[in-house]
Chain A
Amino acid sequence: MLTAIVLLPTAVAALLLCVPRSAPRALFLMAWAATTAAELVLTVIVWAGYQPDGGMQYETRARWIPSAGISYHVGVDGLSLPLVAVTCVLFLACALYSWRATRRVREFAALFLFLQTTCLGLFVALDLILFFVFFDLSIVAMYFIIAGWGHKDAARSALKFFLYTFIGSLALLLGFIGLYLAADPHTFDIVELTRADPLAGRTTYGALVLLAVAVGLAVKTPTVPFHTWLPPAHTDAPAAGSAILAGVLLKMGTYGFLRIAMPVLPDAWRDYALVFVVVGVVSVLYGALVALAQNDFKRMVAYTSVNHMGYIVLAIGAAGAVGADQEEARRLAVTGSVFQMVSHGLLTGALFLLSGVLYERGRTYEMSAYSGVAGRAPVFAALTGVAAFASLGLPGFSGFIAEFQILTGSLGPEPVATGLAVLGILLTAGLFLRALQQIFLGPLRLPVAAPGTERPFPDIRAHEGLAIVPLLILGVVLGLAPRFVLDVIEPASHTVLELLAR
């Protein structure tokens, strides 16, 4: 079942590439949207059959390269299932959003479908090499999306993205090899490695492996100081590419921490948990402060991603502070971090699609070029407002639940750091309000197309609305009734903490 979900998009992509380019545009777009919809349906079926307390489910394991300890091993649990679902939702939204795409549609659709395979494959992978294969291929696919369909300085930004994340992936690979060689018998299987805890008691070795793995994942997340590839990549990527990059690809880093680093290297994680707490808090504050200084709307959203991912790193760092009586708080922190991944995926996806709407109409992201847009495009203004408020963590939206859990859970183990991180919420509130005020309120002013003529600024079109509104509705639903997701996450975060406490 999972294998079908993972491979279906690539199979369709291969079929699309066999269709001549002269075929009608709608054919490619229909096939793309239909595939992503089918993926979502399949995921819903998987979710319906999932037992919240059942641990790893839908497992498949096949021999692949036995002499090198590599197998094809997939499965879902409470950590990965919500992320698989978010991935499917976001890819469907992107397919709908791109309904009016005209430039090389066949290749665009095929690349996105391939990218969907790599993202889903990564979240269900239970073998380090399988994880790495999808990790690397997601970089390749995203590189071509940014470089091929981006704007302005896209080739350069894409190269920077590729080189940075590729360095990260190789660090990750070295760490994986370190784990492989430490295990007896040698294996890359995550489940077996988790069970064996091969580096228990080997402090230096464990620290080096954790360093390699953590650098690799931190580049992808990204945390300060490895975040510098993110703003240019986001700014120059096409809107749908940005939505996936922020909504799904960034989660690969934090998911890797929860799936690999914490359960397989519990000793080293406990020893160095404070490093993650500090990095998390710095990311929260630095991301928010730099976002505050931006005049470019999309760049600002990109920096808020650094801020939001910082909360996750803070939470998983705090979870490593194994004390006597903080059990409940730490569980809250881990659950909150997974919930934040889901929530951030939906809301930032929506924000990036909205910034794409802005660019498509005004041909610039400069906030100072706009004013009073609410009068011309009230629905667009309302949606952006909702997305911004949800993103800054207003109660009633999913962001609130996530950040509340993270901060409450981290406060006990790490009171000072958490206190500082709360400032981040204030900053993001300020910057979003400022952006909304600049773009939507005041007298009407739009970027000029030709001297004397303003660009037309039509309101949200149907396909854009179809892509963005469901994301925001999900954000509200998760904010008001989060139980159905939390029920899935909580047993898994309990397991992670048990493994960590070994």
Chain B
Amino acid sequence: MNEMTGMNENPLDLLPEVLLGASAVLGLLLGAWLPRGRQWLTGAMAGAACTGGVVAAAIAAAGPVETAFGDSFALDTLTATSRIVILGATLLVLALAMPRMYADPRETEFYVLLQLASAGALMMAGAQDLLLLAAGYLLASVPAYALAGFRKDGPGTEAAMKFYVVGALLGVVMLAGITALLAAGRVTSYPMLRTELAEAPAGLVAAGTLALLAGVLFKAGGVPGHFWVPDAVQGSSGPVAAFLTTIPKIGALAAFYRLAAVPLADADLPWAGLVAVLSVASMTLGNLAAFFQQDVKRLLAYSTISQVGYLLLPVAVAGRTALDQEALLYYLAAYALTNLGAFAVVCALPGAHAIDDYRGLARAHPALVASLVVCLLGLVGTPPTAVFLGKLEAFSAAIDGGYAWLAVVAAVNTVASLFYYLRWIAPAFLARGPGSDPGAMSRSAAAVAYGAATGSVVLGVLGGTVLDVLGGPLSR
């Protein structure tokens, strides 16, 4: 904690965020001048900003734990890892989107919105002040509404509408929660809230926390803030769906964990029980709803809701075990890579919407179906993919934190999830007779799918090196 507020306003501390914001603004200006065939340059600039941000975050990660701009922004392992994962995931989404958006009349706008939404996720991950968290929420949400309806067609408009209405409602609830916590603690900075909330009236803290979590869960796409997820994912284009189910989640879950570990750590709240209930609700409802979906994007949407449930395991036992932070961060990285891989397969076959469109596809596109198998079985948690190690860590954290029953529920849910993933994989790999013909394959998206599938196995096998750096101290 930095006592000397006002002395640490060095913009270089926020280099990844600044790069992304600058690239978005510059891209917007350039886009007004560039001819349509050259607008891809703004996308390339976004890619460069993300790459630069990853490098800057990696360099910053080697430094000591600090805060920037007073106590409002934390520079610790949690922020550094979230930055790398968010920016890496944004790069993958850009790779999915750029060939598709080439020479689109609104190409630049797309990249700008994407970068702004990513910057919002970065803000949420590092925010150490309730007001900055709210600002990050808005920055992550508003561009995302526009992205959801970017195609301007019927389903897209419905998706954007539903997304916006739920987001606006829960955003207001979140602000009300922040107000209540401010009333209880008289400050908004996390390190000071920690001491203040410990002595504040329990009812007020509880009400404020619940309202605050509504907004966080909306961004994470977890129950009860999940209602927008299936419609927004099904109604928007493939790359946007991949974005919406991955990048805001990372920021929101990092923020969720930070709330648990810092301001609410000493508050008189049944925190672990509350988050455990949210986790069970997310994984169970997501899985049950995914069971008989025919549309692959909708199926993946529900699968991401259930994944939030598993990701909440380490959040529930935050502070009760030494494994919580590394479990969450590793699982987040593994999830981002694997989920993007699955969406990349969907993007690679723009003509295939339903599970039946994948029948017998293994003969025509063996490598693509193999990637799909790796990613979906990876989401189940089959070793040696990365999500397996993530689940292992998350289960270990839950059991170590005294919530063994939560790990058992998660294990049962994992088996249930296997059922609907197999409903998709099995016909693609095994159906006999003539396969369906979903039309042309996008080579670039397929390449992303191969890369993500390979990456999720490599990350799993080399998990030891990664895990070692994820347990670093938290800014308090």
Contact = CB atoms under 8 A, between A and B. Distances in A.
> Does A pair with B?
yes
A181 B400 contact: yes
Interface string B392-416: 1101100110001001100110110
Contacts of B382: 136-137, 140
Contacts of A137: 382-383
A108 interface: no
Nearest to A67: B467
Given A67-B326, A155-B430, A162-B422, A180 B415 contact: no
Interface in B407-444: 407-408, 411-412, 414-415, 418-419, 422, 426, 429-430
Contact of B464 (A65, A155, A159, A181): A65
Contacts of B471: 67
A178 B383 CA distance: 19
Contacts of B259: none
Contact of A132 (B383, B414, B415): B383
Contact of A147 (B326, B418, B426, B463): B426
A150 to B, nearest CB: 10
Interface stretch (A164-172, A272-280, A286-294, A394-402): A164-172
B377 interface: yes
B389 interface: yes
A499 interface: no
Nearest to A143: B422
B408 A174 contact: yes
Interface string A165-201: 0110011011001101100000000000000000000
Contacts of B414: 170
Interface string A78-119: 000000000000000000000000000000000000000000
B468 interface: yes
Contact of B395 (A64, A67, A159, A177): A177
Given A136-B382, A137-B382, A173-B395, A68 B389 contact: yes
Contact of B396 (A170, A171, A177): A177
Contact of A162 (B384, B412, B418, B429): B418
Interface string B69-102: 0000000000000000000000000000000000
Contacts of A133: 383-384, 388
A68 B392 CA distance: 9
A148 interface: yes
A144 interface: yes
Interface string A140-152: 1000100110000
A66 B426 contact: no
B464 A68 contact: yes
A170 B411 contact: yes
B170 to A, nearest CB: 34
Contact of B411 (A136, A147, A173): A173
Interface residues of B, number: 31
Contacts, number: 81
A63 interface: yes
B464 A64 contact: yes
A181 B396 contact: yes
Contact of B399 (A155, A167, A174): A174
Contact of A174 (B377, B384, B395, B463): B395
Contacts of B400: 181
B426 A63 contact: no
Contacts of B430: 144, 147-148, 155
A166 B383 contact: no
Contact of B463 (A65, A144, A148, A166): A65
A178 B399 contact: yes
Interface in B435-475: 463-464, 467-468, 471
A148 B373 CA distance: 14
Interface in A13-33: none
B377 A140 contact: yes
B392 A129 contact: yes
B402 to A, nearest CB: 11
A182 to B, nearest CB: 10
A155 B426 contact: yes
B468 A67 contact: yes
A135 to B, nearest CB: 9
Contacts of B396: 68, 177, 180-181
A181 B467 contact: no
Given A65-B467, A137-B382, A163-B415, A174 B407 contact: yes
Interface string A300-319: 00000000000000000000
Given A140-B377, A174-B411, 12 more contacts: A68-B467, A133-B384, A148-B429, A167-B412, A167-B415, A170-B411, A170-B412, A171-B411, A174-B395, A174-B399, A177-B407, A208-B404
8 contacts: A129-B383, A129-B392, A140-B377, A155-B426, A159-B422, A163-B418, A170-B414, A173-B392
Interface of A: 63-68, 70, 129, 132-133, 136-137, 140, 144, 147-148, 155, 158-159, 162-163, 166-167, 170-171, 173-174, 177-178, 180-181, 208
Q: Which 4 interchain pairs have the tightest Cβ spacing? A: A65-B464, A133-B383, A170-B411, A67-B467
